[in-house]
């Protein structure tokens, strides 16, 4: 059911209907001229502009990819440096712990030696003072014993050596009786 040409003439196009065939031919010619001008001038300009924009976009994407690669490399380098810095910090902490432990051990040893020296010195001093006090006590006890003996006997005991021996023997008996308890 293709409409016939006569049927097309029956269609009412209103003001768009051409009055003359020359108008239709002139319209087609002008349309071809405009199409030719567009094809030769406008389309290449648009194509050129499209290519430039595409190149800029591609270049921008390549620059962005290169910048991203650089950023990734910088991040990797930063992470490596950070890891090595952490390792070095851990090593330094470990060295500091070892040094501190060594210093504490040396300090304890030195303090123990100093303490032992002070204790030994104190014991030696006490022994010397004790010997001195024992000597002084023997002399005083001997003198008191001799005076007491003189008062009991009523005579002076002139033999100092014999009196000294008697006092020493008495003190020795006292010491042996004190140690037996």
**Helix 43-153 to helix 160-180 angle, to the nearest 10 degrees?**
130
Average pLDDT rounded to a whole number, residues 43-71: 92
How does pLDDT run across 3-23, given as a tens digit for each residue?
Answer: 555 555 577 777 777 788 888
Tokens 């009523």 identify what position? 154
How does pLDDT run across 97-143, given as a tens digit for each residue?
Answer: 999 999 999 999 999 999 999 999 999 999 999 888 888 887 787 77
| pLDDT averaged over every residue in the chain | 84
**What is the pLDDT confidence band of residue 1, given thresholds at 50, 70 and 90?**
very low
pTM of this prediction?
0.39
* pLDDT for the residue 159: 63
- Whether the Cβ atoms of residue 166 and residue 143 lie closer than 8 Å to each other: no
Tokens 């006890």 identify what position? 141
Cα gap 109→115, rounded to integer Å: 10
* pLDDT for the residue 158: 60
% of the chain exceeding 70 in pLDDT: 88
18 CB-near residues (< 8 Å, 6+ apart): 24, 27
Cα gap 128→134, rounded to integer Å: 10
């Amino acid at each position: 059911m293709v409409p016939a040409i006569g049927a097309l003439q029956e269609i009412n196009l209103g003001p768009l209907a051409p009055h003359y065939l020359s108008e239709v031919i002139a319209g087609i010619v002008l349309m071809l001229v405009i199409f030719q001008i567009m094809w030769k001038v406008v389309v290449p300009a648009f194509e050129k502009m499209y290519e430039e924009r595409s190149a800029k976009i591609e270049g921008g994407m390549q620059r962005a990819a290169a910048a991203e690669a650089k950023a990734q490399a910088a991040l990797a380098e930063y992470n490596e440096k950070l890891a090595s810095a952490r390792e070095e910090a851990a090593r330094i902490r470990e060295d500091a712990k070892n040094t501190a432990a060594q210093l504490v051990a040396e300090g304890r040893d030195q303090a123990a030696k100093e303490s032992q020296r002070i204790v030994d010195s104190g014991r030696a001093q006490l022994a010397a003072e004790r010997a001195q006090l024992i000597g002084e006590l023997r002399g005083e006890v001997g003198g008191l014993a001799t005076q007491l003996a003189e008062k009991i006997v009523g005579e002076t005991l002139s033999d100092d050596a014999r009196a000294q021996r008697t006092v020493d023997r008495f003190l020795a008996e006292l010491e042996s009786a004190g140690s037996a308890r």
